[in-house]
Structure 1
Amino acid sequence: MYKYEIILYWSDDDQAFVAEAPELPGCMAHGDDHESALSNIKDAMQLWIDRARELGRPVPEPKGQRLVPA
């Protein structure tokens, strides 16, 4: 599995846990609990990477360190 940072948080708006992979723009998933959100983001990350490769787009290398919020 790739070593991209995953941010996991509770969303009151969605009433679900949300997981984001900020190094893969737009790559997000949700779940009713931590475990399902993490499982879903792993699937979403793989789909994101596979689709980028199909389209000939670059796939960023994981930074391997914590990202700094803007």
Structure 2
Amino acid sequence: MNSKYYQITAIIEKDEFGYYAYCPQLQGCQTQGDSLAEIQSNILEAIELYLSTLSEEEKKLLLQKEVSMINLGVQVA
């Protein structure tokens, strides 16, 4: 099997129900879980499954999109 390595950004959010994760580069690739360990495992599985459904051309087009994350401090009066 010919495997390739991809760098994917995953956003993980916590709320009163647990954790929610999604990938901005992969529209519709999302999952949920009860713990941080579970959500990390779930989103990795979701990404692998999502990518396995795409052609090489589709992967190339989706994964050339650059996604960055920054934390900003904002002072509000």
Question: 1:58: which partner in 2?
Answer: 58
**TM score, norm. by length of structure 2:** 0.67
Structure 1 residue 11 displacement after superposition: 3.4
- The size of the alignment, in residue pairs, is 64
Structure 1 residue 3 displacement after superposition: 1.2
Question: 1:7: which partner in 2?
Answer: 11
Which is bigger in relative contact order (C-alpha 8 A, separation at least 6)? 1
User: Secondary structure at 1:52's aligned position in 2?
Assistant: coil
Structure number with larger C-alpha Rg: 2
* Gaps in structure 1 of 5+ consecutive residues: none
Question: 1:30: which partner in 2?
Answer: 32
Instruction: Write out the 4+ residue segments of structure 1 that deviate beyond 6 Å after TM superposition.
Output: none
**TM score, norm. by length of structure 1:** 0.73
* Gaps in structure 2 of 5+ consecutive residues: 71-77
Whole-Å Cα distance in 2 between the matches of residues 26 and 11 of structure 1?
20
C-alpha RMSD over aligned residues: 2.4
Whole-Å Cα distance in 2 between the matches of residues 63 and 57 of structure 1?
13
Mapping of residues 32-51 of structure 1, within 5 Å: 32-51=34-53
User: Secondary structure at 2:19's aligned position in 1?
Assistant: strand
